[in-house]
Amino acid sequence: MGRVLVWLIAAISFLTVSLRPAASEPRHAIAMQGEPALPADYQHFNYVNPDAPKGGSITYCVVGSFDNLNPFILKSLRTTARGMMDTIFGNLVFEPLMQRNFDEAFSLYGLLADSADMDPERKSIEFHLNPYAKWSDGQPVTPEDVLFTYDVFTDKGRPPYSDRMAKIAKLEKTGDHSVRFTFNDKADREFPLIIALTPIIPKHAFDKETFDRTTLKPVIGSGPYTVDKVQPGQRIVFKRNPDYWGKDVPAKRGFDNYDQITIEYFLNANAKTEAFKKGICAIDDETDPVKRERDMDFPAFRKGDVVAETFDTGIPPVVTGFLFNTRLQKFSNPVVRRALGMLYDFEWANKNLFGGKYNRTTSYWQNSELSALGHPADDREKALLAPYPGRVPADVMDGSWRPPVTDGSGQDRKELKAAFDLLKGAGYSVKDGTMLDPEGKPFGFEIMTSSQDEERLAAIYQRTLEKIGINVTIRSLDGDQIQSRKQRFDFEVLIGSSGFNNSLSPGIEQIGRWGSSAAKAEGSFNLAGVSDPAVDAAIDAMLRARSKEDYVAAVRVLDRLLISGNYLVPMQHNDQQWIAYWNYLEHPQKTPIFGYQLPTWWRKAN
């Protein structure tokens, strides 16, 4: 009997262990969809030169000003010095737990955390900190720093950092070098990757009570550079840390090649361009092809001291256009917005302003499999849209929709009539040359601009709209005024671009751009005021998708809804990146799908 009892206990124990879910293993990398491309023993990203020489200096130039070195607080939305945590120049001072590989849609590799243990259902993730990770003052990066980061961001930080604890059920230290995040039902499948990309700050170097105040005192981070000199509003100088802990981490090999990085500030784009010609600035990234052709006619370029180069990318273009504030009654009707969208004469602008070198922007994920254009809605998409009948016109559903094409003369009456007929059907009329709304009041609006280039585009639109009696005024404001008005949603129409950069892996940022929860949240990127349950459902489906097919279907539905909503009058884009640089710079041979990466460039040895 005793032997039988022992056997039964052993059998039950075996079955209990066997029926437990298989434990996940710590991984060197995690991916949003599928598996990371690089193996655990990878040595570096494939778009860097791992043997790039170190040394020398570089000066980048930007337009604007700054009076703060803390990028994580509300007061930092416009006035934080560039480079502290920067998508263009690199995260010079602050670093996240994991580093993005810009040659994959959305994969992250070890940095402050050398590995991560994410459960298959993505209900939790445990990060194992690199035991060699240190702050610039030599103190080690600890789990307590991670816990402090989320504590202070929640109480004193700015969105989106302040919102992240709302999706975290538990945050705990699990070892001397490990910390685990357990998520609640508000979290989606992308959220563990968002956590991995959140910058970490040192507990010993920040005071929680004063965290939300601006500061010009050099702050401590874990990044490859430290703040060396600060001239508020004019210049910030970063010095490479010779003791940077991560210089041999595979995700950082080939990066951070200058001993000194200076970022100079200029009042306007023209002053910045002239500084480039004089050799003050190392690069020029002018986006206007006509302007850059004119600007590139100077001695150093003709001698070959300055090089101009284009780079192909694999990501959707930046979406820019005239954005309507749909919180206002005058823009609440999508039919009215559709009619207004028909009246931007791209063909005339492309011929007369851009030398015919631009393409019309038609989709929020153009030139990718995520775009609705050229792809008829499949059964997955139709099922997602079934609860919202009539939201998407037939030509958008079958993928054949394109914006109107004019004859380029600036006088194409065909499109003017088509737009007028739409407005007339919505109750609008013209009296004595003035467009009247359904209540008989003159219909017009103000376009807010922040540069001469924007004024020029607004004037083109103004000229066409006035031909059917719509009175448009143009108001030019400086950068700080624009930002303040955007934060308060105090505008009628603006030329929107910031916040509309897209990728091959759209995710939680789409809530902030288009979600109903962000429509009234001051400071959000939902400038258009989109508040549509169909859009919310598409974003939710995208975030919860488990297969690539479901994910692509959800993004295409979102694209169809945004196109159909006519929240923005898309303008134009260039499919290539253009950059001019002084020939003392070199860059890797391979360009990743996200385009050139300045942090991987280096200075030629003298």
pLDDT band at 487 (very low <50, low <70, confident <90, very high): confident
**pLDDT at residue 79, as a whole number:** 78
Beta bridge partners of residue 29, listed in sequence order: 109
How far is it, in rounded angstroms, from Cα 436 to Cα 441? 5
How far is it, in rounded angstroms, from Cα 310 to Cα 513? 30
Phi/psi at 524 (nearest 5 deg)? -75, 170
Q: How many helices (H) does the chain have, and how many strands (E)?
A: 16, 27
How far is it, in rounded angstroms, from Cα 521 to Cα 487? 9
CATH number assigned to the domain covering 320-406+474-573: 3.10.105.10
> Mean of the pLDDT values across residues 358-372?
94
Residue-wise pLDDT for 9-27, tens only, equals 344 344 333 333 344 678 9
Q: Which residues contact 141 (CB under 8 A, 6 or more apart)?
A: 112, 129, 130, 133, 134, 135, 200, 202, 222
Domain ranges of the chain: 320-406+474-573
Inform me whether the pLDDT recorded for 83 exceeds 90. Answer: yes
Compute the half-sphere exposure of residue 102: CA atoms within 13 Å on the CB side of its CA. Answer: 20
How far is it, in rounded angstroms, from Cα 193 to Cα 517? 22
How far is it, in rounded angstroms, from Cα 439 to Cα 559? 33
Sign of CA dihedral 561, 563, 568, 570: positive
How far is it, in rounded angstroms, from Cα 349 to Cα 358? 9
Proportion of the chain above pLDDT 90, given as a percent: 78
Q: Kindly state the tokens that stand for 575.
A: 């499919």
Residue-wise pLDDT for 180-216, tens only, equals 999 999 999 999 999 999 999 999 999 999 999 999 9
> Mean of the pLDDT values across residues 132-139?
98
Nearest Cα residue to 126 out of 201, 30, 44: 30
Q: Kindly state the tokens that stand for 157.
A: 């930080």
How far is it, in rounded angstroms, from Cα 139 to Cα 222? 10
Q: CB–CB of 183/191 below 8 Å?
A: yes
Nearest Cα residue to 558 out of 506, 598, 512, 604: 506
Q: CB–CB of 324/489 below 8 Å?
A: no
**pLDDT at residue 298, as a whole number:** 94
Residue-wise pLDDT for 565-604, tens only, equals 999 999 999 888 999 999 999 999 999 999 999 999 999 9
